[in-house]
Amino acid sequence: MTTSKRALFLLAVGLVPPLVLASGSAQAADEPPVQGEGLTLAYLTDLHTKVHKAWAENFLAMAAARLPKDHPVNLATRAVVVELVLAPGGRLLSTAVTNPSGSSEFDTSALDVVRTNAPYGIAPEEAFSDDGNVRVLWTFARDDRRCSDLRIENAQLPLPQAVRALVAQGRDRTAIKRLQTAGDDAREQGFSSFAWAWLDSVEAEQGLAVAAARAAGGDRAGAEKLSQAVAQGEQVETAARGLARLAIPLCPLVKEKLEGPAGEARGVAVAVLRLGLERECLPGVLVVAKDRSAPEPQRVAAVEALGTLDDPEAHTSLQTLAKDGPPAIRAAALLAGTRPGTGRGAVFHLTGLLHDPAPQLRGAAAAALLRSGGEAMVPQLFQFFKERDPRPGESVAKELGTMKGEASAEMLGRLARGKCDRRVRLASARALAVRRDQFARKAQATLAGDGDAELRFLGSAAVDAQKRLAAASAPEGHVWRASYAALAAGSGRLAAADWALVQFPKLDPAARVEIMAAWLAGATKMGEK
């Protein structure tokens, strides 16, 4: 270090005894106040206070007194902008000159001051950049500004990366605010990043549920964990859903339970297999379906499992079960045994069942009629507008939700807007939300002004951003997870994202995992990455 540079360094770091300044020299009182708001202002003020004496009272004052007036450091217009990168706790990570003064000696002195006075105080979150560090742009001047001109530079990453970084730092609320202020397209894509990042952050506490949620998005990393859970009888329904999403065979995991004695374990096995039955487990499921001494819920699950397997023996058994026995078994068998587009051959028989005393059979017959005959069968269901029991209407709505034509969409719209039971209205509105065709979207839009807040939310996919956000922000909205899932699965993903961002703080961890799973499942269906 040359003698000149060493002298400047000593001045900068305050190792040269101060002088009594002559009258007329610049005083600290002339320095402008630090600018900012709230906690950020307090933080910047603390930074300034720590550096002020070394810069203004030592370096500037002594440079004026000890160096020639024409020395480059003493040029009145001299100013350098320095960038400081600080860890949240105050550790100085790096410094750099972003706008040099024209004098390397002046610039180096400013850098020496900020380095020598580190570490600094703890920063408020408002001062953080997306990477979790604090960036300060600080002007060190020879004029009256001295070292008072400093500000936070909020360095932002592209939205998907920013969201992942913020969640990894535990700054969920900041990530949510960033998403809420983003444009529609960016918000929808960014919420997928939020979902994956948030699942990463809670995996240790919610391991199995997170593995199932990841599976909903096509991630196979947790498949072994899910398989072990099913085999060991732990959170079986959650784990089995995840495996089914990954098209992993379920039969090998529950075959032993299925072939064991009647009881709870066998019930667990058939509940798993209704998500997807393989030929290997068909004999055991048939035993449960035909066992009149088995609990009715087990038999219904077994019947529904039979409907997932394209097998002549399973189909024949369903036809038999649909003819005799308790209404719940007959109804499940009737619907499970109906294949799409089978034509009008079964219409006569099914039409007669539309007036059956058992509401389960009326609903199953109506859904089977739609499944076999398609849009042409919709006019056959006019009596459902007067149905008092909600179960048939719910069955019809679910089936209508799988269709794509104008007649089915119009019927769903009429049911959703009608005077029937609220359960039917909600089921119909959710069925519209799941569909992606133009007819459903048109019917969905008619719900945007409904008197029921949840129905307005389900209709909000077809309205402008302001109305959509208002619908998603209802105080009671945090309980609408089923409606959110319907929108996330269909063409209302923006409305679903708005709801999730508003209601997220009100949800418990298990519910948060649930909504992330629904979002990722919808993303997979849409072909998103």
Tell me the pLDDT tens digit for each residue of 187-242: 999 999 999 999 999 988 888 999 999 999 999 999 999 999 998 888 899 999 99
The tokens describing 528, both together, are: 């998103």
Q: Which ranges of the chain have pLDDT less than 50?
A: 3, 15-16, 18-29, 528-529
DSSP summary character for residue 376: G
Beta bridge partners of 81: 99, 139
The tokens describing 203, both together, are: 């995996």
- Decide if 339 contacts 331 (C-beta within 8 A): no
- The torsion of the CA quartet 132, 170, 476, 160, rounded to 10 degrees, works out to 60
The whole-number pLDDT of residue 26 equals 40
The whole-number pLDDT of residue 380 equals 86
Using CA atoms, how far residue 88 sits from 81, 98, 128, 157, 368, in Å, is 21, 22, 7, 18, 62
What is the Cα–Cα distance from 506 to 251, expressed in whole angstroms? 38
Is residue 13 within a helix (H) or strand (E), and if so which, with residue range? helix 3-13
What is the Cα–Cα distance from 71 to 142, expressed in whole angstroms? 12
- Decide if 174 contacts 477 (C-beta within 8 A): no
DSSP string, 50-105: HHHIIIIIIIIHHHHHHS-TTSGGG-TT-EEEEEEEE-TTS-EEEEEEEE--S-HH
What is the Cα–Cα distance from 511 to 477, expressed in whole angstroms? 13
> Where are the chain's structural domains?
3-152
The tokens describing 170, both together, are: 């535990």
DSSP summary character for residue 128: B
CA 23-73-138 angle, to 5 degrees, is 95
What is the Cα–Cα distance from 138 to 131, expressed in whole angstroms? 20
DSSP string, 170-216: T-HHHHHHHHHTS-HHHHHHHHHHHHHHHHHHHTTTSHHHHHHHHHH
Question: How many C-alpha atoms does 223 have within 13 Å on its Cβ side?
Answer: 13
The whole-number pLDDT of residue 22 equals 36
What is the Cα–Cα distance from 42 to 267, expressed in whole angstroms? 63
Is residue 431 within a helix (H) or strand (E), and if so which, with residue range? helix 422-434
User: Which of these, 447, 380, 375, lies nearest to 413 by C-alpha position?
Assistant: 447
The whole-number pLDDT of residue 351 equals 84
The tokens describing 263, both together, are: 């009881």
The whole-number pLDDT of residue 260 equals 87
DSSP string, 443-472: HHHTTTT-SSHHHHHHHGGGS-HHHHHHHH
CATH number for the domain running over 3-152: 3.30.1150
The whole-number pLDDT of residue 462 equals 83
- Decide if 356 contacts 323 (C-beta within 8 A): no
The whole-number pLDDT of residue 166 equals 97
Residue type, position 369, single letter: L
The tokens describing 431, both together, are: 């069925």
- Decide if 209 contacts 510 (C-beta within 8 A): yes
- Decide if 383 contacts 354 (C-beta within 8 A): yes
Question: For helices 509-526 and 493-503, what crossing angle results, to 10°?
Answer: 160
The whole-number pLDDT of residue 484 equals 97
At 141 the three-state DSSP class reads strand
DSSP summary character for residue 123: P
The whole-number pLDDT of residue 24 equals 36
What is the Cα–Cα distance from 460 to 451, expressed in whole angstroms? 13
What is the Cα–Cα distance from 25 to 27, expressed in whole angstroms? 6
The whole-number pLDDT of residue 30 equals 77
User: Which of these, 460, 527, 470, 521, lies nearest to 495 by C-alpha position?
Assistant: 460
What is the Cα–Cα distance from 44 to 150, expressed in whole angstroms? 7
